[in-house]
Structure 1
Amino acid sequence: MCFVCQDDVEWEELDWGDLGWVVRPANVPDAANLCVLDVKIQPGQGHDFHRHPNQEEVIFLRSGEIEQWVLEERRQLVPGDVAFIPKDTVHATFVAADATEPARVLVVLGPSHGLDGYEAVDASAEEPWASLRS
C-alpha cells in the first residue's frame, strides 16, 4: 500500500487527546522504519513526560500552540515549528488551558516498533519530570 487516505486513519481516544494511526505496520505492512501519527491535543491537556527507548521522533506543529519539553528545556511552538527528540530522551507536549483551539501535531517516529509502530515509557512520576511544571 502506498497511499493512506483520510478515511483510512484509525483514531484512538486517549485521556490527553486523539491519536490518528496514519502509518504503522498494522495498516501499512511495509512500514518497517516509520510510524506516522496525526495527534490532536485539547486545551488544558498534554502528553505528559515519556520517552521512546528505541525511537527517534519528529514533532511538527500544524496548528494551535504547544508547550514542548525536551529533557529540561521548554519552548513554546507555533505552527510550522518542529522539535526533534533523540532516541530514549524524555519529552512532553502540553496545550495551555486557555488555548482557543486544540493543537494538531504530525508525529514521525523511527524505526517502527511492533505492530503499532510505537513504544512509549511513562516518566511523569520520576524526578525531575514530576516537578518541572509545578
Structure 2
Amino acid sequence: MKGHAAAKKALRFVTSKDAEVELAPWGKHWWLSKPGLTGTEQLTLVRVTMRPGAGHQFHYHPAREEIIYVVEGVAEQWVDQEKRRLEAGEIAFIPTNVVHAIHNSSKKALTFLAILSPAEADGPFLIDCYQDEPWRSLRAPFTYPRIAPKTGRRKRRLT
C-alpha cells in the first residue's frame, strides 16, 4: 500500500500555465510531462509547434525511444533512411539509437506530440548527426534565423 500512496502523490494535472515553454530554432516546445514537472520516471511528453519550412534536423537519442504523434498539419518524418508523410492522427515510432528527423514542408503550422522513454537516462538527451553522411545527402541542413529574446520593448523601424 505504501508504494501505491507514493504513486498517487506523483500524479498531477498540468495546465498551459504549468508547462515549461522553450523556444528552439525549429519551433516552440511546451514540456507537459518530465522529471521535476510531474514526477514522471518513465515518460517525457512535449508538444511542439513547427512553423512552415522548419524542421528538427537528423539526430538520435542514445538511451531513449520516441513516438511522434501528429496533432495538426503534415509532417515529413524520417526514420533511418525512410521518409513518410504523416498527417493528423498518425504516428512514427523511433527505436533507441535510430537516426530520425521531422520537417514541416507545408505552408501551415505543424503541431505534434513527442513521447520519449525513459524520462531520464545517463548521457546526452540527443546527438545531432545532420552533417554526417548519409544524412547530409538525404536532406540539406537548415540554416536557422537567430532567435532574439523578447524584451518587452517595441522595435524601432530603421530608415
Amino acid at match of 1:19: H
Equivalenced residue count is 128
SS of the aligned residue for 1:131 comes to helix
- Deviation per residue, 1:81-117 (Å, 9 max, x gap): 1000001100000001xx2321000110000126xxx
Deviation (angstroms), 1:8? 1.0
Deviation (angstroms), 1:5? 1.4
Q: 2:90 aligns with which of 62, 81, 98?
A: 81
Match of 1:27 in 2: 37
1:9-24 matched pairs, under 5 angstroms: 9-24=19-34
Match of 1:108 in 2: 115
Q: Which has the higher contact order (CA 8 A, sep 6+)?
A: 1
CA distance in 2, matches of 1:100, 1:90: 26
> So what's the TM-score if we normalise by structure 1?
0.91
- Unmatched 5+ residue regions in structure 2? 1-10, 141-159
Whichever of the two has the greater Rg, that structure is: 2
- Deviation per residue, 1:33-78 (Å, 9 max, x gap): 0000001111010000000000010000000001000000000111
CA distance in 2, matches of 1:50, 1:65: 20
> So what's the TM-score if we normalise by structure 2?
0.77
Give me the CA root mean square deviation.
1.3
Indicate yes or no: 2:60 matched with 1:61. no
Runs (4+) off by over 6 Å:
none
Deviation (angstroms), 1:2? 2.0
- Unmatched 5+ residue regions in structure 1? none
